[in-house]
Amino acid sequence: MPDLLLELFSEEIPARMQAKAADDLRRMVTDKLVAEGLVYEGAKAFATPRRLALTVHGIPARQPDLKTERRGPKVGAPDAAVQGFLKATGLKSLEEAKIQRDPKGDFYIGLIEKPGRDAIDVLAEILPVIIRTFPWPKSMRWGARSGKPGSLSWVRPLHAITATFGLETEEPDIVKFEVDGIETGQTTYGHRFLAPAAINVRRFEDYEAKLLAGKVVLDPERRKDAILTDAKQLAFAQGFELVEDQNLLDEVAGLVEWPVVLMGSFEPEFLATPGEVIRATIRNNQKCFVVSDPKTGKLANKFILVANIEATDGGKTIIAGNERVIRARLSDAKFFYETDLKTKLEGRLPKFEQIVFHEKLGTQATRIKRIERLAAEIAPLVGADVAKATRAAHLAKADLLTEVVGEFPEVQGLMGKYYALAQGEDASVAAACEEHYKPQGPADRVPTDPVSVAVALADKIDTLVGFWAIDEKPTGSKDPYALRRAALGVIRIVLEQSDRISLTPIFQAAIALHIMRGSDATFEDIVRVVRNPTPNPTFLRKSGSIAADNLVSLIGDLLAFFADRLKVQLREQGARHDLVDAVFALGGQDDLLMIVRRVEALGKFLDSDDGKNLLAGTKRASNILSIEEKKDKRTFDGAPDAALYSLAEEKALAKAIGEVKAEASAAVAKEDFAAAMSAMAKLRPPVDAFFDKVRVNDDDPKVRENRLKLLNEIRSATRAVADFSKIQD
Amino acid sequence: MDASLPAHMRPERSFQGFILALQRFWAEQGCVILQPYDMEMGAGTFHPATTLRALGPKPWNAAYVQPSRRPKDGRYGENPNRMQHYYQFQVIMKPSPPNLQELYLKSLAAIGIDSAVHDIRFVEDDWESPTLGAWGLGWECWCDGMEVSQFTYFQQVAGFECAPVAGELTYGLERLAMYVQGVDRVYDLNFNGREGDAKVTYGDVFLQAEREYSKHNFEVADTAMLFEQFKMAETACRKYLDAGWKDGKREAHLMALPAYDQCIKASHVFNLLDARGVISVTERQSYILRVRELAKACGEAWIHTEAGGAA
């Protein structure tokens, strides 16, 4: 079966857009082919800076013929209906129609045959539409045609379209179409500088080979492999190690058609600047790799660049040029770094009074004050020194205003640490300047130093509470303030540190700090009211940012958000999310570590036979109860009457419930969830025996009521560990 | 490169020779070679030959040097390549010719940059000028890792769609010349291509000015006067625009250029105020917006003039 070759040859396509564009091209063309009944065997798309290319092989030469039946009017229907039917089906007369017998009356059936078209004609129809509607993130118009409406938009000016279709053994045909004055053909061009001449191509195989001869490596993966291999070798040959960087590799591979890897160097004096700053300078500004000394792990005074040409002087000029630029950039960076060192971090803080964090949440300066106070509240809970935590929170954001961070935002935090150390801060305080941002994502590590933990939690919880208070919660895919990440960060820090923290009091403190901004009351006064809301204290009403009447629901809502995040987190670790629900449903659960321990114990218990059966028994009890409750329109709360027990199984169950409840509650109080589950296990035999031998709906209404109350007791006994009704089978 | 040139005129020897080579190259491509606009501005794009001529249907090909004033970039002559005054070489071609990239590469060859030994790259760079209400797509052009030019296909200027689209090239002249001459400090550039006593450097011409203007821009510029000047320029711009509508009807405009001068003025005064640090972050946005409103109004007037393509 024939193959399609399509190439869209343009001016330089931004590196970051290439991979998605290749993928979009493949998807759009193949989807259309399938929709047109042309089921292909395989497709692959490629991108270089100057071209998008697609090969689809094994396309049928023709569409299959389509036969459809169309139901017409009843036999004997008025002439207008018959004429309409003939027109719609293209039949000449009713003689050509079939008649279908039907109990409701006989109908005419028209058989429409739509002969399949040649695939090349279908392609000529669909390809221009795809080109015109191609989803570039940003596209542009150009040239004389852009003076008229409806001119083509492309990522950068499009110059040529190669489109051929045919069998391997034959000379392929050109898929003839035209887009905004560009007619398809089979001419492309090699490397801009090394082989600019026109190349005549037939099909994908010779296309790829001729491009290679024309110094163009079509496949981005091959370019990446070549760059990585050469870069590693070049570094290794000189006794260094390449500092690998996947994002940079992806980008660089999108900037060259013919990668040539070269190594340059810079003055060793620059190595006095922090390695991260050197790397950021060389990487962001120059798109070059850095190398390290394998013995020390520290950066070496070398860099690796990827050129797009084989220069006639072997690359000497290119290396020298890049060295000049990198030298200038590094001396800027060094200058920034040294300038930064001249100002103490706290000296930068007044500027934060001019910087708005969020219109409704005040300036960065007020935010820093809140974090300081909140970190002081949290410090004792995580074993951190209060003074150090306060100091760290005071300084942690200051590096945002330094020259280096202004230039390279990705080293925020890290620079704070360097500057804090340079001005003689305590090591924990300095570390917190960097670590309080962590974890930045699921792969990032969490802080471990208690001072960092206190500031990290304070920073994140202040953000969460603040945005919750002004009702800027994440919705669907929108989470502009990264609140999900912040909550997940809190969860991971608490769990990985095994910290015992009740979130509610911290949320309350954070809320109080937000309220303080619009109030003249003291923190202590506000916190007292937040913790025991009395109706409408005046200073709550004065507060600008917080909807004071919703304090309780705000905390509940935020805890539910944490529960959701925790579910996601546990699910990723393979735990059952319904167990999280079963534990949260108990209410008052705001100690993440205890929740997780309970979920773990519950999970283990439910994996055992005792657990499974007890769950089944409890569910059975619940089902019976809900049916009977509905029937009687009442609940069966309250203690059963021991005098009404007539069967041994009833008595045994009642006794077991009493014992298990006491034992499980005691174990839960000691936070020994495994013991609580073992206690629960003792409930299983009497529950099973009860359902075996006892008829709940006894004829005596009093006995029935008593037995239903007993069932209710099973349900309430299990609530010592979890709400079993939330557990899925 | 023209081998017949005397040594002191060669682009790799002399800054002025370098500029002349570029002018000659673009003159040969059919551009009118203009002289700098006689007003202070932050970039060659502000020149009416670019901003206004980019609008409307009429073809337009021009090239010129434009002194660019960036008060905040002054470093008292102490930074090797940052200055509050430098030269841009600007090319505008409307509609953008299909071979504009090739022309650009040839222009590099004309100033001594040989693509057989230099690594020339087009790296994505979307251009946007909030003050001009303009944007376009294109690249930073890199030579051996150094950004040497800006290449933009204008999509919108002064809030109006460009139809047809103009291609704009901006060369950072000092930076390119430093590379070609092989000097690391801009003030060491050989300006006139002569040697010995006859040699004049870039420093000889501009170093004193950099020191003086840095002091002026950062320390002394009269902010009360500047605030007043901003208001005056803004008011004058509006006044000229209003007065320019022929017969008071919004069909033809007779004074777009003088009005636009006031917009340029306002923009530069704002830059000076910004350098003096007397404009807060929030105010900054509102000043930019005010200049943009002027630019948009001028653009609207321009498309109602003869050169702007009004019938």
Span A290-325, pLDDT tens digits:
999 999 999 999 999 999 999 999 999 999 999 999
Does the residue A454 lie in any domain?
A: yes
Chain B CB within 8 Å of residue A353 CB: no
Residues A507 and A465 sit within 8 Å (Cβ to Cβ): yes
Chain B CB within 8 Å of residue A305 CB: yes
- If asked whether residues B104 and B157 sit together in one domain, one would say yes
- If asked whether residues B200 and B52 sit together in one domain, one would say yes
Given this model, what pLDDT does residue A91 score? 81
- If asked whether residues B209 and B149 sit together in one domain, one would say yes
Q: What DSSP line would sit under B115-178, residue for residue?
A: TTTS-EEEEE--EEETTTTEEEEEEEEEETTEEEEEEEEEEEETTEE-SSPPEEEEEEHHHHHH
User: Is A326 a residue whose pLDDT tops 80?
Assistant: yes
Tell me phi and psi for residue A655, to 5 degrees: -65, -45
Q: What DSSP line would sit under A124-180, residue for residue?
A: HHHHHHHHHT---SS-B--TGGGGSTT---BSS-EEEEEEEEE-TTSPPEE---EET
**Portion 33-52 of A in contact with B at CB < 8 A:** 49
- If asked whether residues A390 and A531 sit together in one domain, one would say yes
Q: Six-digit token pair at A493?
A: 């820090």
Its domain, for residue A19, covers 3-61+119-213
User: Is A547 a residue whose pLDDT tops 70?
Assistant: no
Across residues A55-65, what is the average pLDDT?
A: 93
Does the residue A585 lie in any domain?
A: no
- If asked whether residues A380 and A518 sit together in one domain, one would say yes
**Burial class (CB within 10 angstroms; exposed 0-12, middle 13-18, buried 19+) of B209:** middle
- Tell me the C-alpha distance between B289 and B277, whole Å: 18
CATH number at residue B153: 3.30.930.10
- If asked whether residues A501 and A619 sit together in one domain, one would say no
Rounded to the nearest angstrom, the minimum Cα separation between B39 and chain A is 30
HEC sequence for A270-314: HHHCCHHHHHHHHHHHCCCEEEECCCCCCEEEEEEEEECCCCCCC
Question: How far apart, in Å, are the Cα atoms of B34 and each of A515, A540, B47, B65?
Answer: 62, 67, 10, 8
Query: For residue B145, what is the nearest residue in chain A, using CA coordinates?
Result: A322
Query: For residue B57, what is the nearest residue in chain A, using CA coordinates?
Result: A147
Chain B CB within 8 Å of residue A364 CB: no
Rounded to the nearest angstrom, the minimum Cα separation between A302 and chain B is 15
| CB-based contact B146 A159, cutoff 8 Å | no
Instruction: Please state the ipTM of this predicted complex.
Output: 0.95
- If asked whether residues B197 and B244 sit together in one domain, one would say no
Which range, A46-55, A143-152, A465-474, is most confident? A46-55
Q: Six-digit token pair at A284?
A: 């962001």
Does the residue B24 lie in any domain?
A: yes
Give chain B positions within 8 Å (CB) of A316.
117
Does the residue B310 lie in any domain?
A: no
Given this model, what pLDDT does residue A695 score? 87
Q: Which residues of A229-245 are buried (b: 16+ CB within 10 A; e: fewer)?
A: ebbbebbeeeebebbee
CB nearest A146 (choices: B120, B145, B164): B164
- If asked whether residues A546 and A432 sit together in one domain, one would say yes
Given this model, what pLDDT does residue A305 score? 97
| CB-based contact A311 B118, cutoff 8 Å | yes
Interface test mutation site (partner B, options A17, A51, A140, max chain B beta carbons within 10 A): A140
- If asked whether residues B203 and B81 sit together in one domain, one would say yes
Q: Six-digit token pair at A334?
A: 């060094």
- Tell me the C-alpha distance between B209 and B187, whole Å: 12
Query: A40: how many CB neighbours lie within 10 A of its CB?
Result: 19
DSSP β-ladder status, A51-57 and A3-10: antiparallel
Given this model, what pLDDT does residue A540 score? 54
* Percentage above 70 pLDDT, chain A: 97
Could you identify the residue written with the tokens 């006892």? A694
Domain final position from B160, B189, B216: B216
Its domain, for residue B125, covers 7-216
In degrees, rounded to 5, the angle at the alpha carbon of residue A87 between the alpha carbons of residues A81 and A90 is 135
Does the residue A204 lie in any domain?
A: yes
Given this model, what pLDDT does residue A611 score? 86
- If asked whether residues A650 and A713 sit together in one domain, one would say yes
- If asked whether residues A353 and A275 sit together in one domain, one would say no
Does the residue A583 lie in any domain?
A: no
Domain final position from A293, A319, A341: A341
What does DSSP assign to residue A255?
Answer: T
Confidence of residue A549 (pLDDT cuts 50, 70, 90): low
Identify which of B257, B187, B289, B287 has the alpha carbon closest to the alpha carbon of residue B39. B257
Chain B CB within 8 Å of residue A146 CB: yes
Give me the residues paired with residue A358 across strands.
Answer: A362
Name the packing angle between helices A551-572 and A450-469 (round to 10°).
Answer: 120
Q: Six-digit token pair at A547?
A: 């909807």
Interface test mutation site (partner A, options B108, B122, B303, max chain A beta carbons within 10 A): B122
Give chain A positions within 8 Å (CB) of B96.
142-143, 146, 157
Interface test mutation site (partner B, options A9, A12, A139, A334, max chain B beta carbons within 10 A): A12
Across residues A599-604, what is the average pLDDT?
A: 88
- If asked whether residues A504 and A604 sit together in one domain, one would say no
- Tell me the C-alpha distance between A408 and A419, whole Å: 15
Query: How many Cβ pairs closer than 8 A exist between chain A and B?
Result: 118
CATH number at residue B294: 1.20.58.180
Name the packing angle between helices A551-572 and A577-584 (round to 10°).
Answer: 150
Chain B CB within 8 Å of residue A322 CB: yes
Does the residue A579 lie in any domain?
A: no
- If asked whether residues B144 and B208 sit together in one domain, one would say yes
Does the residue A403 lie in any domain?
A: yes
Domain final position from A213, A229, A261: A213
| CB-based contact B95 A143, cutoff 8 Å | yes
- Tell me the C-alpha distance between B100 and B168, whole Å: 9
Chain B CB within 8 Å of residue A359 CB: no
- If asked whether residues B167 and B272 sit together in one domain, one would say no
CB nearest A156 (choices: B95, B137, B146): B137
Given this model, what pLDDT does residue A539 score? 53
Identify which of A50, A57, A194, A173 has the alpha carbon closest to the alpha carbon of residue A120. A173
- If asked whether residues B273 and B288 sit together in one domain, one would say yes
- Compute, in degrees rounded to 10, the torsion defined by CA atoms A645, A651, A654, A660: 180
Domain final position from B216, B249, B280: B216
- If asked whether residues A634 and A690 sit together in one domain, one would say yes
Give chain B positions within 8 Å (CB) of A49.
122
Rounded to the nearest angstrom, the minimum Cα separation between B3 and chain A is 21
Q: Which of A57-66, A119-128, A215-224 has the lowest mean pLDDT?
A: A57-66
Across residues A640-658, what is the average pLDDT?
A: 89
Identify which of A404, A445, A405, A455 has the alpha carbon closest to the alpha carbon of residue A425. A455
Confidence of residue A536 (pLDDT cuts 50, 70, 90): low
Domain final position from A168, A196, A213: A213
- If asked whether residues A363 and A482 sit together in one domain, one would say yes
- If asked whether residues A156 and A293 sit together in one domain, one would say no
> Which carries the bigger pLDDT value, residue A482 or residue B119?
B119
Residues making up chain B, counted from first to last: 311
Across residues A624-629, what is the average pLDDT?
A: 87
Rounded to the nearest angstrom, the minimum Cα separation between B60 and chain A is 12
Give every residue of chain B whose pLDDT is below 70, as ranges. 1-2, 281-282, 311
CATH number at residue A525: 1.10.3210
- If asked whether residues B203 and B226 sit together in one domain, one would say no
Q: Six-digit token pair at A617?
A: 């028994």
- If asked whether residues B173 and B240 sit together in one domain, one would say no
Confidence of residue A727 (pLDDT cuts 50, 70, 90): confident
- If asked whether residues A187 and A94 sit together in one domain, one would say no
Given this model, what pLDDT does residue B233 score? 98
Confidence of residue A533 (pLDDT cuts 50, 70, 90): low
pLDDT tens by residue, A341-390: 999 999 999 988 888 888 788 889 999 999 999 999 999 999 999 999 99
Given this model, what pLDDT does residue A472 score? 87
| CB-based contact A138 B117, cutoff 8 Å | no
CATH number at residue A637: 1.10.730
Report how many domains make up chain A. Answer: 5
Report how many domains make up chain B. Answer: 2
- If asked whether residues B168 and B260 sit together in one domain, one would say no
Give chain A positions within 8 Å (CB) of B138.
156
**Burial class (CB within 10 angstroms; exposed 0-12, middle 13-18, buried 19+) of A429:** buried
Using an 8 Å CB-CB cutoff, list residues of chain B that contact chain A: 57, 80-81, 95-98, 101, 115-124, 126, 136-139, 143-146, 153, 155, 162-165, 167, 179, 184, 280-282
User: Is A546 a residue whose pLDDT tops 60?
Assistant: no
Domain final position from B216, B242, B267: B216
- If asked whether residues B195 and B229 sit together in one domain, one would say no
User: Is A543 a residue whose pLDDT tops 80?
Assistant: no
- If asked whether residues A196 and A109 sit together in one domain, one would say no
- Mean of pLDDT over chain A: 90
